[in-house]
Chains A and B, each alone.
Chain A
Amino acid sequence: MSTIFKSLYVNCKPMVKLDQINISNNGLTKFFSPIEASILKTLWNEGEMTTSELTEKTKIPLTSVAGTLDRLVKAGYTARRVENVNGRVRYVYEPVFSEEEAATEITTKILDSLVDAFGPLARENFSKYSDKK
């Protein structure tokens, strides 16, 4: 996918919905469902993958993965193309966003919402937080 298309996607489609964020969960499941998180992580690590490679790597049965993959493609998190090899068709998946892009988007979203809620107080705490690190 071309970079122009990618950035267009980032700008017009919110990657993470704020109402889905659950800070008491672990890792990526704060922002995604467990299966979505597992698929995205695997795709970030491996790059392009077929459906069978994905089910093998994530160890999640196809019946659970398939619906989630449809949802991820529809939501624009992952892209897929159809390959025709020796008369057999298969999907090849790739992530639309890199892990860094996703992290930036999520961080910005959360910082924005903190500023929205607490105003200058939030900004003060940001600088305290970065000084401490």
Chain B
Amino acid sequence: MSLSGEFNCIGLCLRLSDFTPFVALFVVVSIALLAASMMLKRPKERLMTFVSAQVAILLAIAATFYLMKCSYMLTFYLYLAYVIISTVLIFAVLRNYDLILIKRLQAKPAGSIMKWAQEFVDRLTSARIYYFDSAVPRAFAAGRSIFVSIGLLELLDDGELKAVLAHEAWHIRNNSRTPYLKQLALMTFSSSSDSELEYMADCFAAEIAGRESLSSARNKVDKVFI
């Protein structure tokens, strides 16, 4: 069967099936939740409603495939392959991406040059700090590692550095949960709500290191720790 024939069949199945109202319902619920997430103020609530909207879309996709009566579904296999590949990428590669980064950046454990920083992070989560050779102030977390550039270390004072490390430690603490958000975003062809996650990481950093340290770090190096 050709792809255009398959699309005709999908249209026919949707028109004839008893399940079609469910698909429509899921789509309507999803749109309502999406609208709600845009109107809500608190990041945590925004995140929750946005994720619910994505789940509703996922249910709509599942229901659509369930009510199909077509004999050979190329779209189904394509979608299945897409889901499998993205799952492997997110849960196998992304989780061990720090190993690749250590090699590529030639990063070294920061415990040797800044013992207090490693001890500070040890109290928040189990992660190792690595530093790499670059004057551009940058910090990021991957897998179970926090990466900071030497440019960042020479620019920030201890309080500001604590704020950045706490921000990255929040990412590591939530590394068991945030990949599911990415996975959900890929499966529903939407975006993951990264800005909400960054905001929540900043809230944690402000709690640990103080609001002033965080905002002065943000002022010095906006957009360089993510």
Contacts and interface: CB of A to CB of B under 8 A. Distances in A.
Contacts of B155: 51, 62
A84 interface: yes
Interface stretch (B129-137, B175-183, B208-216): B129-137
A89 B154 contact: yes
Interface stretch (A9-17, A64-72, A107-115): A64-72
B38 interface: no
Given A51-B135, A91-B135, A66 B151 contact: yes
Contacts of A90: 154
B110 to A, nearest CB: 9
B136 A89 contact: no
Interface string B134-164: 1111000000000000110111000000000
A82 interface: yes
Contacts of A80: 135
B85 interface: no
A70 B114 CA distance: 22
A66 B137 contact: yes
B113 A65 contact: no
The range of chain A's interface size is: 10 to 19
B134 A62 contact: no
Contacts of B133: 82
A27 interface: no
A65 B114 contact: no
B116 interface: yes
Contacts of A84: 113
Contact of B134 (A50, A52, A70): A70
A85 B155 CA distance: 14
Contacts of B131: 89
Interface string A85-103: 0011111000000000000
Interface string A30-45: 0000000000000000
Contacts of B154: 50-52, 88-91
Contacts of A91: 135, 150-151, 154
B153 A66 contact: no
Given A62-B155, A87-B114, A87-B116, A82 B135 contact: no
8 contacts: A50-B154, A62-B155, A66-B151, A73-B135, A80-B135, A87-B116, A89-B131, A90-B154
